[in-house]
Amino acid sequence: MTTLTITSPAALVTAPLDADDPEGLARLLVKVTVERGFRCGSYKERCLRRRIAVRMRAKGVHTFDDYARVLDADAHEYDRLLDALTINVTKLFRNWDSWSALAAKALPKLWDVTGGAMRVWSAGTSSGEEAYSLAALLHRHAESRGETARLDGALVLGTDIDRASLAAAARGTFGDAAFADTPAELRERYFPGALPAAAAPELRSLVAFEHRDLLLEPPPAGPWHLIVCRNVLIYFDRQTQEVLFERFHEALAPGGMLFLGKVETLLGPARQRFAAVDQRERIYRRL
């Protein structure tokens, strides 16, 4: 029987990793894909290596094969690994300038087209900050026009592969760090009270969450008037990004809009299928 030696915590910081083992990495990624259905092959290898290395150091092992044995021995470690791989880092109104541009240049046009019954998909919503941000801007726009009654048919759907993050999203409460980019007026209006602050009922009535694998499952039934997928695509290889752009295009209603992260941009055929509404802030309209 093989004995797995775990390095003492004091040695974790300096423990060397056997990073030059492509075969071992390949075996580990196949294992994760087969046993947990996580499509490792669509992610950029350097991102996978970096995040797996974090977990290897945490468990005090040096090789990919040793880490695979850790996964066999500790069911909870699989959850920690998948949490690391799915990059659950977010804030409410992250990069406020981009959200401000969305509120000024996209929401009014979409509101006029839909009569307020907007369907918004937050793809890769993590713990819900993005979905609640969208709901707040949508409600604020309706309120400014005295048309909140028209929100009865509106929906902001947040989807993610991480069930623990979705459970946090459903709770709808946020600590201080989540509000780092949130303007004071939005904080006071939609997340009142002491920390951890709960989303106001007006937002909860607009949002819903469901588990969905962005890579393996089709988009939720549309059409969607706005799709928001920010700081997710950068972790995928180019081929996967192009596939997702095609899916987003098909899922959007004619004239619907796509909102990406600041370091993301359209690739391949998607450049002919979307027109820039605000190139700087990564807001595009479906052609």
pLDDT digit string, tens, across residues 91-137: 999 999 999 999 999 999 999 999 889 999 999 999 999 999 999 99
Residue 64's domain comprises 9-85
What is the average pLDDT across 13-32? 73
Q: Give the pLDDT confidence of 159-218 residue by residue, as tens digits.
A: 998 888 899 999 999 999 999 999 999 999 999 999 999 999 999 999 999 999 998 899
CATH number at residue 154: 3.40.50.150
Q: Is residue 90 part of a domain?
A: no
- Both 100 and 79 in one domain: the answer is no
Residue 274 contacts by C-beta under 8 Å, 6 or more apart in sequence? 245, 249, 258, 266, 284, 285, 286, 287
Pairing between β-strand 252-260 and β-strand 283-286 as defined by DSSP bridges: antiparallel
| pLDDT-based confidence at residue 89 (cuts at 50, 70, 90) | low
Q: Are 190 and 199 in contact (CB under 8 A)?
A: yes
d(CA 266, CA 283): 10
Asked whether 224 and 253 are in contact (CB, 8 A), the reply is yes
Domain contains 52: yes
Q: Do 109 and 228 belong together in one domain? A: yes
155 and 244, same domain (yes or no): yes
Contact present, 57 and 81 (Cβ < 8 Å): no
Look at residue 91 and tell me if it is in a domain: no
Amino acid of residue 38: F
pLDDT computed for residue 22 by the predictor: 86
**Global confidence as pTM:** 0.80
pLDDT tier, 73 (very low <50, low <70, confident <90, very high otherwise): very high
Which of 30, 55, 85 represents a domain boundary (last residue)? 85
Q: Are residues 223 and 282 in the same domain?
A: yes
Residues 81 and 137 in one domain: no
Q: Is the pLDDT score of 83 beyond 50?
A: yes
Tokens (6 digits) for 95: 């990069």
**What confidence category does residue 235 fall into, taking pLDDT thresholds of 50, 70 and 90?**
confident
Are 176 and 39 part of one and the same domain?
no
